[in-house]
Amino acid sequence: MGTENKEIKNRLSQLRKKMKENGIDYYMIPTADFHNSEYSADYFKTREYFCGFDGSNGTLVVSADEAGLWTDGRYFIQAANQLSGTGVTLFKMGEEGVPTIEKYLTDNMISGQTFGFDGRVVPAEEGELLEYLAKLKNVTIKIDKDLAEEIWEDRPTLPCHDAYVLSDELCGRSFKEKLADVRSKMKENNTSMHLLSKLDDIMWLTNLRGNDVECNPVALSYAMITDDMFILFIQSGEITDEVRAYCESNDIVLKDYAEYGEYLSELVLTGNILIDKRNTNYLTYKLVADKASEAGYEIKDCSNPTELMKAIKNETELKNIREVYLRDSAKLTEFIYWVKENVGKIPMTEYSAAMKLDGMRAELPGFIELSFPTISAYNANAAMAHYEATEDSAAEVKAQGMLLVDSGGTYMGGTTDVTRTIVVGEISDEIKKHYTATVSGMLELADAIFKDGCTGRNVDIYARRPLWDIGIDYNHGTGHGIGYMLNVHEGPHNIRWKNSDAANKTELKPGMIVSDEPGVYIEGSHGIRIENIVEVVNRSESEYGKFYGFDHLTYVPIDLEAIDKKYMKPETVKLLNKYHKTVYDRISPLIEDEEVKAWLKKATAEI
């Protein structure tokens, strides 16, 4: 801390020079590609380039004499470290007294100034809000400039990798069947065209996959759907013979990704257009909205129909997911055994442990890639909720304390995500208390029974309650949806207690899968997170309605060395024992090594 970061300061001063040249007083750099993807390819990592903070969520705002970075609770500690010496101020989103970006801009910008951002990396919804605020302040908006282009010399190129086709058998439903459903939703909304920009939605709908974003099997693309046409804009370099043949036989018209903007410009509208403003970029939206307004048509802004269809997994997807989760769970179980056996005996760092696990996963049949970079965090490092150890900076894992590992893979048949915090040596009674409460939260949420109509908001308290009982909370959501051979985070449902965005209106329905991941983060001391993925299932039906529950998909032992029964309710002890019995029953047949199997028997013993 305290040392000046000259590289970042130099880049920021270049940016300020460009801002001046372009008459821009405040310039905003969000973290997004043209599709509002959660993870962006390196080409889009402009915010990291200009401030050094490399967490997955953050927005940089730069003016002549100030620069600020906004990020969320997962990254407060990490961001403070990485911004040190850059002169960039950290704005902790959601904390009391911390202004939102909109508030900050409104408070600081004055009449006549110009506010700039690249209109392709801001969702329409947000762009419209900024436009409105700018108008109120008599501020000009400039959205056609990506200032990084003229500064970032060694900027990576746009990713371009071979796309590939998934069989209808693996997907459960064909592209044409899915498309027919989307078209019927378009009709319901009285629209004759639908622009789809979200990459995982396009992939799921077309049964295609790509490899343009690390850990996300997606291809950069746009889709334009009309009553009788389906156009896929995709880089020609991605189209293999297999993809071309598939598209031909499915009447998918292929056009080049780079031509999307021009195609839109020349488009003649013939009816209303369905657009999801959350996931369509502002530049695209402005173009189409202006056209629609001229032609007397409406933009119907609603959740794009693909999103909910994708979230409710079909029977084939569920069957494959359940199998994949068992194999992935068995592999993680073997890894936990390896860590416990080897810690203190062989050199082990957070990084080497992660590499070991990544290598083990890669051996599994159908492995495609990691679903996200493995988080391997030792003791105090685990207090940083989404800390990533690098080879150089990784801490040594000693036979003391705990190692938190949050990891997952994408396989032919499903995408996994799981967190276990592994005891590697002595731990304090306080840690046991926190650990036991975290496990209680995970198990009690998974045990919920809830009526049709409930959202994640109705059940979130089950995961937090054992922590709230002891005056502790965690600064992140309890659960997120997960893709099918797709992104590890997907909507529209989630499990959160507080914010009331669109996601909170999505009811939990059978076939959805969602994470259940409470945690405890004590800065400078320790971090605990336990994450299972659960499936929403039918439990009962009566004249009062349908009642649902969760089935576990993840079957990995909970570390009993950190469980103290005196901190667990008797009912929850029963849940733990029941879970562990199933873990052994389902996982042990997948484990060949007799020593591991014997250990698993003990690790899942009744308490």
Query: Where along the sequence are the contacts to a second copy (CB under 8 A)?
Result: 448-451, 453-454, 457-462, 464-465, 468-469, 471-473, 497-498, 500, 505, 540-542, 544-545, 547, 569-571
Task: Using alpha carbons only, give the angle 199, 204, 206 rounded to the nearest 5 degrees.
Answer: 95
Cβ proximity to a second copy, 156 vs 545, nearer residue? 545
- Taking residue 6's Cβ as centre, other Cβ atoms within 10 Å add up to 10
- Please identify, using beta-carbon distances, which residue of 180 and 537 lies nearer to a second copy: 537
**CA–CA separation, 282 vs 548, rounded Å?**
39
Q: How far is the CB of 419 from a second copy (least distance, A)?
A: 20
> Any idea which residue has 């257009």 for tokens?
273
| Pairing relationship of beta strands 89-92 and 67-71 according to DSSP bridges | parallel
CB closer to a second copy out of 177 and 541: 541
Smallest gap from Cβ 383 to a second copy, in A, equals: 13
Query: Which residue in the block uniquely carries the two structure tokens 């209680």?
Result: 440
Quote the least distance from Cβ 500 to a second copy, whole Å: 7
Cβ of residue 545: shortest distance to a second copy, in angstroms?
6
- Min dist. Cβ of residue 70 to a second copy (A): 20
- C-alpha distance from residue 543 to each of 434, 546, 547 (Å): 41, 8, 11
- Which of residues 167 and 500 has its CB atom nearest to a second copy in the complex? 500
12: left (phi over 0), alpha (psi -120 to 50) or beta: alpha
**Helices of type H across 94-145:** 101-108, 124-136
Q: 2 or 471, CB closer to a second copy?
A: 471
CA distance 194 to 287: 14
| Smallest distance from a second copy to CB 380, Å | 16
230 φ, ψ (degrees, to nearest 5): -135, 110
Question: By C-beta, is 197 or 494 nearer to a second copy?
Answer: 494
Q: Buried b vs exposed e over 258-287: b needs ≥16 C-beta within 10 Å?
A: eebbeebeeeeeeebbbbbbbbbbbbbbbb
Q: How far is the CB of 534 from a second copy (least distance, A)?
A: 16
Q: Which of 385, 384, 395, 388 is nearest to 350 (CA)?
A: 395
Toward a second copy, which CB reaches closer, 402 or 568?
568
In the complex, minimum distance from the CB of residue 65 to a second copy, in angstroms, rounded to a whole number:
30
Nearer to a second copy, 60 or 459 (CB): 459
Side-chain-side CA neighbours of 446 within 13 Å: the count stands at 27
State how far the Cα of 439 lies from the Cα of 519, in Å rounded to an integer.
Answer: 9
- How far, in Å, CA of 298 to CA of 187, rounded? 14
If the CB atoms of residues 3 and 500 are measured against a second copy, the closer one turns out to be 500
Shortest Cβ 295–a second copy spacing (Å) = 21
| DSSP collapsed to 3 states, 71-101 | ECHHHHHHHHHHHCCCCCEEEECCCCCCCCH
